[in-house]
Structure 1
Amino acid sequence: MIKSITQSFIIWLTAIFLTINSLTATAKDYPAAYFGIKADGISLNTRSIQYGIDHISQNGGGVLIFPAGKYLTGCIHIKSGVTLHLEEGTVLLGSVNPLDYDRQNTAFDHNFNTSLALILGLNQKDVAITGKGIIDGQGKELAANVGEMLKKGLVKGGSVNRPNEDNRPMIINLFGCENVTVKNITLKNSACWTECYNQCKNVVIDSIKVESRAFWNNDGIDIVDCTNFKLSNSYFNSSDDGICLKSLQPDVLNQDILIQNNTMTTDASGIKFGTASLGGFKNIRIINNRVFDTNRSAIALEAVDGAVIENIVVDGLQGVNIGNAIFLRAGARKGTRKGKVHNIQIQNVDVEIRTEKNPLKALPGIVIAGMPDQIINNIRLKNISIKQAGGAEKALAKISIDNMAGIPEKPDSYPEYSMFGELPAWGAYIRHAQDLQIIGLKITTAKADFRTAIALDDVHQITFKTLTVKEPKSKNKIFSINSSQIKTN
């Protein structure tokens, strides 16, 4: 599987580089001032920038160059053949007036298919945003002004202090675009998701920096039903998920995606699939990434709206001061639409779980939770190291191995590793799963913990090889109910 995915990426990258070289040979440079665009940080340049983009696109393509300075603008629509190049010292400022933003693709009824954004692109080809400049969405002020519009009754949705995401502009929202490059720029202070690439093909995101804690729902990047997508060498500091893959349409999916050499710190999960999971996620490699100071999971793969998650490779993941290392979940928020998680390989993971004031809130580093009729299967974990503080005492606990059969299923709940509350294990909790190989798992606590290291419920055909459990006064390594074919060696 890994070989076939690698070969497809090599072919794709070769095609992308040939396309970029061909475009570079014919592209023409246009300085912003050529179109009367002003760098004073005060003049609203929306019409001038849009005129420049349209002119360049209609005349064979080229590069719109923004020299150092501050450029204020409302929503602009990027067009085929156009590169926006922000030189070092350049700041593209988003207007704080909500009426300066457009909405695209209104044929769709899902809000994130139609969201407002500073930079929109609909079904365009050969587009890029490059340079060492900054795009600042001024999201705190912008969101506050959206709240004022809600107060006046000019828009609907949400509260004054927290307007709905659909009313708060992103910085970048591209839909149906092909041959997209975003490189070296800094994105900061979005009013909502920072950047969203929806049903795009042949996308390269490289060496970008995201600083997005201006408001709520500030995902670092959202990859939605895309094909041939490479995200590498980037940094994300966000108040929601860092790298988030979603599927918003039941007949499309994310596939052939590489996420490599990225670093992130977030208030939610580091890398997450599936809080919107209608279609699917297939052939995805997540290589050599680092997550730190994160409240939830380092990696979370969730199929809760009918999606299929399959052929996923995670190789090289470091986590420091995080809530959970690995979370796999199959659920059914849509009732009859049941998600499926299978054929997952996760290896070379080293995670330190954060220390909680109440040790019972330090949940297992690994949580794998299917449903009785949605069995998670064909899972391979190799060379996983998880360190916990430990210290939980039985006298304070509500859940233990004695009553673990009563842990709720919660098929229609929002998926998070903490969704079940207290769990009877400190190392790994696995329920409704089959055909698992766990090789070289090392789990450690600094203090004695009454909970078992590993708890299994309705787990079949599971093999542990080279299992290492280090806990002061350790008694139980593995406790199981309703399970069979458990092998350890």
Structure 2
Amino acid sequence: MKYSFKIVFAVLLSGFISVTVSAQIKTYNIRHYGAIADGKTNNTTAIQKAIDKASANGGGRVLVPAGKFVTGVLNLQSNVELHLDKNAFLLGSTLRTDYGAGKASALIVSNHQHHIAITGHGTIDGQGHELLKDIYRRLNAGTLQDTEWRKPNPWHQMRPTEDNRPKLIEFKNCDDIHIKSITIKNGLCWTQNYKSCSNLVIDSIKVENVTYWNNDGIDIVDCKNVKLTNSFFNAADDGICLKSEDPNGACENVYVANCRVRSSASAVKLGTGSLGGFKKITIRHIAVYDTYRSAIAIETVDGGVLEDVDIRDIVAKNTGNAIVIRLGHRNKKGDAGVLRRVYIGNVKVDVPAGKPDAGYAMEGPIVSAPHNVFPSSVTGIPGSRVEDVTLENITINYAGGAKKEVADFGIDSLERVPERISNYPEFSMFGELPAWGFYIRHADGIKIKNMVLTCKGTDYRPAFIADDVKGLSLNALNISQVKTKPAVLLNKVSGLVLKDIKIPGSAKQNIQVQ
């Protein structure tokens, strides 16, 4: 089977002159190389043979037709498109040995290749439940080594290490990648990992990966020139996650738009891995629901430089936290990083009193320390401060219901909020916080424009606290229900600008500056 494409060049001289170049791209049907669609036969050799043949001939389309094709590890080569037809299922092997000795390989891998693609309306299914059974059988029999599965963890489960749980897609050091329209599901670790790649386009994919923990929907690691659009993620860990694992690398020029996310961790996250940095990150039109942690998490804690981040048009329902921005220092081999020039605008989040991901197969771990509902936060550390953050048109609706008998934090003891400089960054990392709506500490140049904080139930804490902030502008801060006074507490704040503050009652009673 062959298909053709046309490249048309139009040049305006005295009129339009068009030149058409046609090329023939050969299709390599895996059935012709011996693949059997019975849902049982391991077709790794047949499928790899089709990929290798296409690559040897200069490139082409490797076709997975309708049917259920089991496979082990596949290596995608330059100039090859792996195309899954409608009703085509590429099923990951349920035998741990098919992913190699030592650290498990991902199901589909590519390294130092270019012009590669996975397309079509078919499904890549890791068959994670059945693979996990085989992993446990081997662990209990002593035929598989694992350093972690008997160690205590927050989930109180016998959890094998990630080294024994294969990802589904892992591309490294590749250029010119297209992933389009496919469904990816049922892995045992990160769904897809793109590391140190460039010119990556991902569009209209569907990810259902709630089989196990560490199942991020997508990880973009130290990649440049990335466009991720029109996709759906249902993940047992972070939904859309940008990371930096190379001190000399960075996620740079990344555009994410028009996606829907559910997560038992955070929906959209920069970090936690943050050795190199994040630069020129643009995020638009994200819908979030039933998400355990934050709708937006921006974190650099390993020495990386995070700058020029622009996030707009986020709507999150039944989500545990709206925004967490954190500059920390857990990498003791170098200096703390930099977090600056962040804009977040047009955000609406509804935060419930209960656990947003309750009832899902893989819930996020319960915070063990007593606490009430956590506020959003922007926090640096002594000596390394968050800089130049603008939060505009932000509405956060809290269910409320905080009680002193659950956790009590008096506003006369702000110094009791722990620094936790080297801790894993998260909205719950400090334990109980003294504000119900928004908390800011160790930051410079913070601009709040048109922020609305509401709380349906009771809460004994102030709505908004800023502590050790240089250059704070509060322009149109609206706190419609005052649960306690003061509603706003400003401690060690310099360069303060207050304008159009809307709080019921007198400003003198509701805004305390100390």
TM-score, with structure 2 as normaliser: 0.86
Listed as ranges, the gaps of 5+ residues in structure 2 are 1-6, 10-19, 151-157, 356-368, 500-514
Aligned residue number for residue 6 of structure 1? none
Match of 1:469 among 479, 487, 493: 479
Does structure 1 conserve the Cα–Cα contact (< 8 Å) formed by 2:461 and 2:483?
A: no
Does structure 2 conserve the Cα–Cα contact (< 8 Å) formed by 1:143 and 1:215?
A: no
Pair 1:116–1:23, CA change in 2 (3 A): farther
Tell me, what secondary structure is at the counterpart of 1:466?
Answer: strand
Match of 2:392 among 382, 390, 396: 382
Residue 363 of structure 1 pairs with residue 397 of structure 2:
no
Q: 1:85 and 1:270 mapped to 2: Cα distance? A: 29
Match of 2:119 among 130, 134, 145: 130
Same amino acid, percent of matched pairs: 43
Q: 1:474 and 1:465 mapped to 2: Cα distance? A: 21
Aligned residue number for residue 281 of structure 1? 278
Q: 1:422 and 1:67 mapped to 2: Cα distance? A: 54
Counterpart mapping for 1:64-463 below 5 A: 64-102=62-100, 116-151=105-140, 152-159=142-149, 161-335=158-332, 336-356=334-354, 360-364=371-375, 366-394=376-404, 396-463=406-473
Q: 1:17 and 1:435 mapped to 2: Cα distance? A: 50
Does structure 2 conserve the Cα–Cα contact (< 8 Å) formed by 1:359 and 1:392?
A: no
Greater gyration radius: 2
Aligned residue number for residue 3 of structure 2? none
Give the letter for the 1:371 counterpart: I
By how many angstroms is 1:475 displaced?
2.9
**RMSD (CA atoms):** 2.1
Pair 1:475–1:399, CA change in 2 (3 A): closer
Give the letter for the 1:124 counterpart: Q
Does structure 2 conserve the Cα–Cα contact (< 8 Å) formed by 1:121 and 1:174?
A: yes
Tell me, what secondary structure is at the counterpart of 2:463?
Answer: strand
Give the letter for the 1:156 counterpart: D
Listed as ranges, the gaps of 5+ residues in structure 1 are 1-15, 107-113
Does structure 1 conserve the Cα–Cα contact (< 8 Å) formed by 2:472 and 2:493?
A: no
Aligned residue number for residue 27 of structure 1? 25
Tell me, what secondary structure is at the counterpart of 1:380?
Answer: strand
Q: 1:486 and 1:395 mapped to 2: Cα distance? A: 34
Give the letter for the 2:299 counterpart: E
Question: Which digits, 9 at most, give the CA deviation of each residue in 1:142-165, with x for residues without a partner?
Answer: 133223333314323221631111
Question: Which digits, 9 at most, give the CA deviation of each residue in 1:210-269, with x for residues without a partner?
Answer: 000111110000000000011110000011000111111101110000010000111000
Q: 1:248 and 1:348 mapped to 2: Cα distance? A: 30
Tell me, what secondary structure is at the counterpart of 2:265?
Answer: coil
By how many angstroms is 1:473 displaced?
4.6
Question: Which digits, 9 at most, give the CA deviation of each residue in 1:281-329, with x for residues without a partner?
Answer: 0000010101110010001011011111100000111110111111000
Q: 1:61 and 1:85 mapped to 2: Cα distance? A: 13
By how many angstroms is 1:417 displaced?
0.5
Give the letter for the 1:96 counterpart: T
Match of 2:49 among 51, 64, 78: 51
Deviates more, 1:473-482 or 1:425-434: 473-482
Aligned residue number for residue 59 of structure 2? 61
Pair 1:147–1:359, CA change in 2 (3 A): closer
Pair 1:115–1:253, CA change in 2 (3 A): farther
Does structure 2 conserve the Cα–Cα contact (< 8 Å) formed by 1:218 and 1:238?
A: yes
Tell me, what secondary structure is at the counterpart of 2:394?
Answer: strand
Pair 1:25–1:432, CA change in 2 (3 A): farther
Q: 2:8 and 2:149 mapped to 1: Cα distance? A: 47
Does structure 2 conserve the Cα–Cα contact (< 8 Å) formed by 1:447 and 1:471?
A: no
By how many angstroms is 1:443 displaced?
0.6
By how many angstroms is 1:339 displaced?
2.0
Q: 2:125 and 2:431 mapped to 1: Cα distance? A: 38
Does structure 2 conserve the Cα–Cα contact (< 8 Å) formed by 1:74 and 1:94?
A: yes
Aligned residue number for residue 153 of structure 2? none
Q: 1:361 and 1:17 mapped to 2: Cα distance? A: 61
By how many angstroms is 1:395 displaced?
5.0
Question: Which digits, 9 at most, give the CA deviation of each residue in 1:349-376, with x for residues without a partner?
Answer: 0100122389952111x21110011100
By how many angstroms is 1:26 displaced?
3.9
By how many angstroms is 1:17 displaced?
12
Give the letter for the 1:455 counterpart: I
By how many angstroms is 1:402 displaced?
1.7
Tell me, what secondary structure is at the counterpart of 2:134?
Answer: helix
By how many angstroms is 1:24 displaced?
9.0
Q: 1:81 and 1:66 mapped to 2: Cα distance? A: 17
Give the letter for the 2:83 counterpart: H
Does structure 2 conserve the Cα–Cα contact (< 8 Å) formed by 1:68 and 1:88?
A: yes
By how many angstroms is 1:389 displaced?
1.4
Structure holding more helix per residue: 1
Q: 1:454 and 1:317 mapped to 2: Cα distance? A: 21
Q: 2:319 and 2:65 mapped to 1: Cα distance? A: 40
Does structure 2 conserve the Cα–Cα contact (< 8 Å) formed by 1:262 and 1:289?
A: yes
Deviates more, 1:448-457 or 1:153-162: 153-162
TM-score, with structure 1 as normaliser: 0.91
Pair 1:172–1:432, CA change in 2 (3 A): same
By how many angstroms is 1:403 displaced?
1.5
Pair 1:333–1:245, CA change in 2 (3 A): same
